[in-house]
Structures are given as structure tokens and as C-alpha cells.
Structure 1
Amino acid sequence: MTRTTAAGIHPLDHLVLPVRSLDVARARLTALGFVVAPTGIHPFGTENCCVFLADGTYLEPISVGDEQAAAKAIADGNVFVARDRVYRDSRGDEGFSAMVLATGNADADHARYVEAGISAGDMLSFSRAFTDTAGKSDIASFKLAFASGSKATDAFLFACERVNAPKVDRAALQAHANGATGIVEVVAVSGQPAEQHRLISVAVGDPTVSEQGGTFHLPNATLNVLDPASFTSRFGLSAGAPTELRFAAVVFSVRHADVTSRLLAANSIKHDISGNDIVVQPASGQGAAFIFREIK
């Protein structure tokens, strides 16, 4: 996976998917053919069960495991937990709340966000234990800088600096039965896509993006911001309630679409074919539309 410093266009790092229950999320993601990592506990009340992909990106389904700790974190100014609460209060406990960008200098990103007037609040540094499928553990440490539009309560973006990457073997966690190898596209919905250009261009570190319509080319993926009609036309899915900005779908690369479709059928996962895409509608434990695309 290509990573840049704050001076360049940032790659996609991971996606945050609020869920009500990690047990439900784990069961759903397993049925979709993903290997799900052991539960990770944050020091501020939230917990996750990640899906790691061979391209270095990952999904972070997240739930609130300790309400008291989460409430204290919000009171202490923890932007990550506060935005999770805002999302759940607005959209419910299942969804797709944040797109996370890889950076080598979160402090510089925070300074850019503040200068541009899009900072969502104070930076956050934390560490947590990480365990692989063999039970080997190490400590993962992160530093985060947050960006958000003043009206975009359904979505936010943040830059993530991996201060300490766990020295564990993720190979088994990346061998998915559905053949997924990476994330090639993230799709968002907006009633006014053009108004999201400045927020996203500053967040990703691309000053020229305002001339590229609703498409933002990152080093390792594409972000497309569509109006509701275009989203429905492209994927055959409802765009949901009106929104300034909401992340709605994840497009995964797979080696063989027929292998993916057979697995989904065997696990009784309803799916539709839209051109070259296999489209799975959101469900409990899977807060976004999942789209599988064969890429040779």
C-alpha cells in the first residue's frame, strides 16, 4: 500500500462502520466471506472487530462496549467517540460514519484543517492491544486529526498516523473466502455534491480536486460523491434520507466474481448483479452497501 506524508495526497487507510453489536457484525461479515479479526478494545469505551485486506486497507466495525467510559471520553473532548455518538443519534446504530486517510504527520494535517476551518476538534493519540489469529499480541499506537464540514453531521474524515504498527502476521486475516483483496472505491451521497469539494480536497491533501467533479483520486482508491439519483441509477439502491454528506457504499476488488457469487448464494446472502458489480444491500452488522468487482 502506498502511504504519503501530510505534504501529498493521502491514501485510504480504513473505513469506520458503526454497528449495534460486534457479535452480529462478526456473523454477518463471516457469512459475506470475510475473515474477522479478534475484538479490539479502545481505552475510551468503543471496541471493534476489523476486516484486514491485502492492499493494506481495512474495515473497522465499531460498537460501544462501555457506555460509562464513552460518556467520559466525550466529556473530555474525545472527537472520535463524540462523532460516533452524533452519528448514532442521527442515523442509528448501523452505518458508515467515517473515511480514514493514512498520513505520516497527523500534526501537520491538524494544522491544515485548523487553518482551513474544517477541524472537527482536538487531535487524539492512543494505543491498544492487537491480536492475530494465532493469538500473538502487540501494541498498536495511533495519532488522529479530524476534519468535518459544519453541516455534514452524517460523515467525517480523519487522518491516521500509525505511530507503532503491530509486529504480527496478518496473512491469515487477509485470506478471505470471497476473494476480496482490497478497496478500490468508496461512494458517498450528497444532496449538493459540489459543496463537498473543499472539505474533501483539504482532508485528502489535493488542492486541484475542485476541478475534478465529484471524483477524488487517492493513491490507492477512488472516492466518488454522487447525488441521490445518480447513486440509485448506478447501484439500484435507495440513497436514503436527504444528507449533506453520507458515506454509502464500499467497492471491493475480487479475483473471481463467480467464486464470490457462489459463496454469497451458499450462505443465503441476497445479492444483485449491476453490470460488472455484485451488489449486497446494507444489513445488520453491515451498515454500508458492499459491492464486489472482479479486477484482474
Structure 2
Amino acid sequence: MPARPHSPDPHSPGAYPPGACPLDHLVLPTARLDVARARLVSLGFVVAPSGIHPFGTENCCVFLEDGTYLEPLAVGNAQAAAKAVADGNVFVARDRAYRDSCGSEGFSALVLGTENADADHARYIEAGLSAGDKLSFSRAFTDAAGNSDTASFKLAFASGTGATDAFLFACERITAPKVDRGALQVRANGATGIVEVVAVSNEPSEQRRLISIATRSPATGQGSSTAFDLPNATLTLLDPVAFETRFGMPAGAPSELRFAAIVFSVRFADTVARLLAASSVEHDIRGDDIVVRPAPGQGAAFIFREIA
């Protein structure tokens, strides 16, 4: 397996040349943050202190060395979330639609880094793919030492017509918290970043335009497998048969589009295998990959791949 070059932080201005958007983070709905935290710790990740959104949701993120991160997301204040939906908050409305369709455990959104969410919103509207109004908000961020600062974001949303199982959005960091993430990026499993995100569709050809426009990346491949090359990862779109063939597990209920798996780069596969065994986490070996099936608090298949 070729070495993966170190990716620049997708939040840094000018980190990537114009073209495809970088992967920023992944949203993983969960029923309870404590369950997600326990599961992720058992997989060898370090989990950040809980973050509270001003519209009823909350998260406990896993930050990776390559600048990407996982965002387990729960509803912490149902009343505030219901008001946010009524007020047209697309982020909370899409989270509710996902939970109503797929349940409270899963993988709802792929988030792309951007330096201009306004331009992305206009681009989505022009293409007929806007999922609703932009969203600007701020929240407190706390590092492992308990230091706090404020992070501010602007989001622009894209989705296929009537789709509830998956969406994409562009995330512009207006202000970044001045805290130290170093301690949050040291993991027992040795994971250094995300190299691939895998989505499943019953009709992959129908999703190519949505994904290509959202990511600003042309599709390569055809038929059962399509790839979109982002600056710091690959987004792969498979049909259900191709997904089951590759990972040895069913793709789940039929879906127009569903995010289903995350491939992490790790330093040593045997370290991961020992850690999973010690934590009594069931896993399968498929070629160069260690495959962990979804579980409560882990809404997608996690695949660990040794990359020098």
C-alpha cells in the first residue's frame, strides 16, 4: 500500500488549491453521547469533551492528525431542537429526518471544508440541489485540559430531492478556537486520518451529479463503483452488491444514498487487532483491512488500514 502524504489542515486558509473541496468531518447520529463515547474509547480513540449547540443538539468529537474529525451527534434538548426545526434550521431538521427514516444510530452527513459558504450556497441553488437556508452559529469548545474558547461556523447544505438518508454540507470556519487539540489527537489505535468514505446507493448513477457538484470533484469509474477524489480523501459510491462483496456485510435497507463506512489510516494493523481483542470488540480481517461492523455509538462500519 503506498504511503499517504500528510494532508494539510482543511481549516487553514489556502491549504488546498482551487478545485475539489477537502473532507472536513463526518456526522454520526447517536441516541446517547455516553454510549458513543464508550464505544469509541473501546476502539482506541480519544473523545473530546461534549460540545453543546445553541439549537438543541450536542456532540463529542474525535479529532484526527490530518485535520478531519468525527462528530457523534445526539439530541440533548428536545424542546430546543423542535423549535430549531420550526424556525427552519436545516442542520437540526435534517438530523430529525434522518432519525425518523433510519433510527437514532447512523452516519447522516459528509462535511466539506470551504472558505466561502455563501458561494457554495449560491452554487447549490443554481444546480437545484440546495437543501435549505444557510446556518451560522457559535459554540464553546473545550480541550482536554479544560481550556475553553469559541468556535463559529457558517454552513451551506446540499441534498438530492426528497432524500432523507444522507446529505452533504460545506462548513466555513469563521473563527477557530485558540485551544490545544494535541492531547485529543493521541490515539491508542494509532489512527492518523481518514483515507476513504464509502456510500451506498441502489442507483449510483443517479447520485453522481449531486456528489460531484457538492464536492467539486468529477466522478471516475462507472457501474457498481464510482470514486470522487478529494484533496485529502476519497469518496467511493458503491451499489449494495459491491459493498457486500468488499466488506463482507450487508448494505442495509434500500436507499437512494446512504453513507456506510469510514476507512482510517493506522500506523500498525497488529496494534489495532490487539486493542480490539483486549476490548472484546468483534472484527473481521479482509485483505489489508480490519473491519468493525456498526454498533450502538458507532453508526458506520469502521475499517482500519495500515498505511506506512
TM bin, normalised by shorter chain, reads over 0.9
Pair 1:277 & 2:286 matched: no
Distance 1:263 1:244 in 2: 36
C-alpha contact 2:199 2:259 (8 A) present in aligned 1: yes
Give 3-state SS (helix, strand or coil) of 2:31's partner: coil
Q: When the two structures are aligned, how many residues end up with a matched partner?
A: 294
Tell me by how many angstroms 1:205 deviates.
Answer: 1.4
- The one-letter amino acid paired with 2:168 is L
Match of 1:43 in 2: 54
Deviates more, 1:146-155 or 1:98-107: 146-155
Tell me by how many angstroms 1:173 deviates.
Answer: 0.2
1:28 to 39, 55, 66: 39
Give 3-state SS (helix, strand or coil) of 2:40's partner: helix
Identity %: 73
Aligned positions of 1:1-296 closer than 5 A:
1=8, 3=10, 8-206=19-217, 209-213=218-222, 214-296=226-308
Normalising by structure 2, we get a TM-score of 0.94
1:169–1:128 distance in 2 versus 1, CA, 3 Å: same
Give 3-state SS (helix, strand or coil) of 1:81's partner: helix
C-alpha contact 1:6 1:105 (8 A) present in aligned 2: no
Distance 2:173 2:212 in 1: 22
Aligned CA RMSD, in angstroms, stands at 1.2
C-alpha contact 2:61 2:70 (8 A) present in aligned 1: yes
Q: Which consecutive unaligned segments of at least 5 residues does structure 2 have?
A: 1-7
Tell me by how many angstroms 1:268 deviates.
Answer: 0.4
Give 3-state SS (helix, strand or coil) of 2:137's partner: strand
Deviates more, 1:149-158 or 1:225-234: 149-158
Q: Which consecutive unaligned segments of at least 5 residues does structure 1 have?
A: none
Tell me by how many angstroms 1:232 deviates.
Answer: 0.3
Structure 1 residue runs of 4 or more that deviate by more than 6 Å after TM superposition = none
1:203–1:6 distance in 2 versus 1, CA, 3 Å: farther
Tell me by how many angstroms 1:204 deviates.
Answer: 0.6
Deviation digits for residues 202-238 of structure 1 (CA, Å, limit 9, x no counterpart): 10113xx145431000000000000000000000011
Tell me by how many angstroms 1:2 deviates.
Answer: 5.2
1:224–1:232 distance in 2 versus 1, CA, 3 Å: same
1:133–1:202 distance in 2 versus 1, CA, 3 Å: same
